[in-house]
A and B are shown apart, each in its own frame.
Chain A
Amino acid sequence: MNVQRETSMTLQKQLLSDHYDALARAPEEGKKVVYTFVPGNLNELVRSFDLLPLLPEINALQSGMRKLSGGYITEAEKHGHSEDVCTYVKCDIGMSLRGNIGPTGKPLPKPDLLLLSYTGCFTFMKWFELLREQYDCPVAMLHVPYQADGRVDPHQRDYIVQQLRTEVIPKLEQVSGRAYDEDRLRAMLRRSARAEDDLVWVLQSAKHVPSPIDAYFGGVYYIGPIFSAFRGTDEAVRYYAALRAEVEERIAAGAGPVTPDGPMKSERYRLVVEGPPNWTSFRDFWRMFYEEQAVVVASTYTKVGGLYDTGFRHDPDSPLETLADYCLGCYTNLSLPARVDLLTRYVREYRADGLLINSVKSCNSFSVGQLLMLREVENRTGVPGAFIESDLVDPRYFSAANIKNRIESYLQMLDQKRAIA
């Protein structure tokens, strides 16, 4: 079957492919590599030292999409990792045990630095402690406090800035052999803000009826460059400008989202989705929605690597403070009441018919409290919710028949509700 792709997707594929090629060539070209995480990533800072970022979460999700994660997870479990814990971690460890072959088929380089941005997820800390056992390289720890009270306190920001100054930047200088160049960082942050403007415009285009985008299944592609290795680069600015132009065209044509089976012809249900997608059966999962003409108009997963649609932009005038605010504001670093507020706002502003939670076994940061969140949003909006369970990259936890049944039943319930109204 020919898979339909938006032009921007082709552009993104090239970006990623070039980046993985650069990573594969890094050892022979003497380039240094920094492993780090998506939430709270310091891409502009890393790039300002001419270091190459590599994100193990992205490797894991790509392994999931390429149906390799099951084998990697089993490999890690054979080496003593519990069946109970995060499958991103086990997928990454299993992949490294089997030669650390990246998505382009070439081996990924070892890290010269593990940049442990401890943002919104406790497991990150254990993940890089595990990798530290495997690789003989320094670790830079950046502890990002939790926004438990639904706001950023000045001493939280100060704490992060101090860590950047005393822990992260010195280690980046040491590994790269370059001095910290704040002007270079500012220039990158300026480019970040431009790309962020376009990303937010694209995500908010889903307020149109019909929506020109799917803000979850399509959304995970849209966030790809800015959540990973490209925030702050010219390539990201170009990508988001192209993406915006593409969506503008679709709005002008009254067209819906592009799915792997072609453009959606009609929009019957508008949904908000909370939680990460399943990657091992990503297309099957998406198909369960678009076959029913269900479009996701807003999602929280597309905010894990940065929450921009509430107004935050990287500010080149306060480079370290803005990185601190960025880290503090990532979605899973928000309190549960703040997450409920955001979901409530999405349901209302995007005129959603329902809220669906995909609760993944691997991610307690996302999952704990979701059943209560569902109830709260239902109470506040009057919009009915639904709850399904799967996993990020463990194929053993994706039960297609069960999930399809639940989604279909839920959509039928939305129909009945409409009929009564």
Chain B
Amino acid sequence: MTLQQLVATARALYDDLDLECVRRWKDAVPGRKAVGHMPVYVPRELIHAAGMLPVGVVGGGDRLEIIRGDALFQSYICRIPRSTIELAVSGRLDVLDGMLFPSICDVIRNLSGMWQLLFPGRYVRYIDVPQNFDTAVGGAFWRRELERLRADFAELAGREITNDDLRNSIAVYNENRAVIRELYRERSRRPWIFPLSEAFLFLRAGNVLPPEEHTALLREYLREAPLDANRREQDHSRVILAGMFCEQPPHGLLVTLERAGCDVVDDDLLIGLRWLTRDVGVEGDPLDALVDAYLHASASSASRYAPDGDRARWLLDSYAGNHAEGVVFCAPSFCDPALLDQPMLVAGLDRQGVPHTEFKYSEDTGQFAVIREQAGTFSDSIRLWSAT
């Protein structure tokens, strides 16, 4: 495919609120099943090993009119649960045979209970990840949770999940995460070749495509984008985006940041796709390998306890490692984890003299003028300081 075709493919998947692509995947082989999951971490390897398709559900963005979803939430609740409910009650998620709710915050936790009440008989599970990272304690707990998920998925799929199935799926996802890491590295090196507004579409495709196809798509993108002679380095500032790990920003917001002169060289968008920061072991017991990776090689995120007390470490490491010039805190309105985390991150940056700016969004934000002005001023000020 040409780059234009690749982008069009990724954009079509992004726009596919009805999950037609999932329907097509299921229809291709009778009996196939798909399991949805909310953002941040779920062990997708277990779903894949059962021959099912993991489907990331990240709300309705700015392309969905919310009617019934709003009737179930107070005004001070963030946007993602209401659009997710809207997707479900409008039948768009009927293609999913189950739904998983990771422990991100109290909103997503309670949403799992709402699902139980609204859709009795459908498979629903809350994924309670450990906040204790001792192998014998939190690890033992997480292993039991994984064993239960494995049994559930085997029942849902109507087939056993063998250790070899699981090792194969781990290898598939290792490859997928590796190519995502490569995309991030390349973006950091040459952000004008892989602008975030475009790369984001390719990452989002990972929510609905089988991982093997997603890996292939990313590889093609990595190959084709540098061949576009129109992509030239611009006088932009190198910034990191933080706070977008759950409710995703509208695509227009990412375009706005770029137009405001920001090259985004790292971010926490769709963090679940690259939650595990190294390959999971493919030798030995596969559940133990998943446990070990979760405990010792997880991304840093507001929803995960930081036992060492250094909440801003990941941001400072990214700042240094990506030669960034500033940080843009961009959190969804009413997002408790991101907004409670932010003062600690800000304090960490201030101690090191790292420039930063903050604003909020919701997935259906439609007016970007203020954000453009703020981000533009921030970008200009960075370049001004860099020049002196």
Contact = CB atoms under 8 A, between A and B. Distances in A.
Interface string B64-89: 00000001111011000100000000
A139 B336 CA distance: 21
Contact of B116 (A82, A132, A139, A335): A335
A162 interface: yes
Interface in B95-117: 103, 105-107, 109-114, 116-117
A165 to B, nearest CB: 9
From DSSP, what is the main secondary structure of chain A's interface residues? helix
A371 B114 CA distance: 10
B380 interface: no
A321 interface: no
B132 A365 contact: no
A122 B337 contact: yes
A42 interface: no
A285 B334 CA distance: 26
B31 interface: no
B109 to A, nearest CB: 6
A127 B341 CA distance: 9
A125 B117 contact: no
A179 interface: no
A216 interface: no
B140 A158 contact: yes
B125 A148 contact: yes
A368 B81 contact: yes
Nearest to A86: B336
Contacts of B341: 126, 129
Given A82-B342, A337-B113, A368-B81, A162 B336 contact: no
A159 interface: yes
B74 A371 contact: yes
B131 interface: yes
B36 to A, nearest CB: 16
| Interface hub of B110, B145, B309 (most chain A Cβ within 10 A) | B110
B137 A123 contact: no
B309 A84 contact: no
Contacts of B343: 79-81, 130
A389 interface: yes
B74 A359 contact: yes
A162 B107 CA distance: 28
B140 A159 contact: yes
A159 B140 CA distance: 8
B371 interface: no
B311 A129 contact: yes
A93 to B, nearest CB: 9
B339 A85 contact: yes
A148 B128 contact: yes
| Interface hub of B77, B306, B346 (most chain A Cβ within 10 A) | B77
Given A81-B343, A145-B128, A389-B74, A364 B105 contact: yes
B216 interface: no
A155 interface: yes
Interface in A29-44: none
Interface string A106-145: 0000000000001001110111011011000001010101
A141 B342 contact: no
Given A84-B333, A368-B77, A372-B72, A141 B307 contact: yes
A368 B107 contact: yes
Contacts of B110: 336, 364-365, 368-369
Contacts of B72: 369, 371-372
Nearest to B116: A337
A281 B106 CA distance: 26
A369 B344 contact: no
Contacts of B369: none
A62 interface: no
Query: Number of contact residues on A: which range applies?
Result: 35 or more
B77 A364 contact: yes
A364 to B, nearest CB: 4
Nearest to B137: A162
Given A148-B128, A368-B73, A126 B140 contact: no
Contacts of A123: 106, 336, 340
A166 interface: yes
B111 A167 contact: no
| Interface hub of A126, A133, A336, A371 (most chain B Cβ within 10 A) | A126
A158 B144 CA distance: 11
Given A126-B302, A371-B72, A162 B106 contact: no
B118 interface: yes
A340 to B, nearest CB: 7
Nearest to A127: B340
A167 B136 CA distance: 12
Given A145-B128, A364-B107, A365-B106, A129 B112 contact: no
A267 interface: no
A376 interface: yes
A159 B131 CA distance: 11
A227 to B, nearest CB: 20
A337 B117 contact: yes
Contacts of B337: 122, 126
Given A129-B344, A335-B113, 12 more contacts: A125-B305, A126-B336, A126-B337, A129-B341, A141-B132, A162-B136, A162-B141, A167-B132, A367-B77, A368-B111, A369-B110, A372-B72
20 contacts: A80-B346, A123-B340, A125-B131, A129-B305, A129-B306, A129-B311, A133-B309, A141-B305, A145-B141, A146-B128, A148-B112, A148-B128, A155-B140, A155-B141, A336-B117, A337-B113, A369-B117, A371-B73, A371-B74, A372-B117
- What are the nearest 5 A-B pairs in CB distance? A336-B113, A126-B340, A148-B126, A143-B131, A368-B110
Interface of A: 79-82, 84-86, 89, 118, 121-123, 125-127, 129-130, 132-133, 139, 141, 143, 145-146, 148, 155-156, 158-159, 162-163, 166-167, 335-337, 339-340, 359, 361, 364-365, 367-373, 376, 389
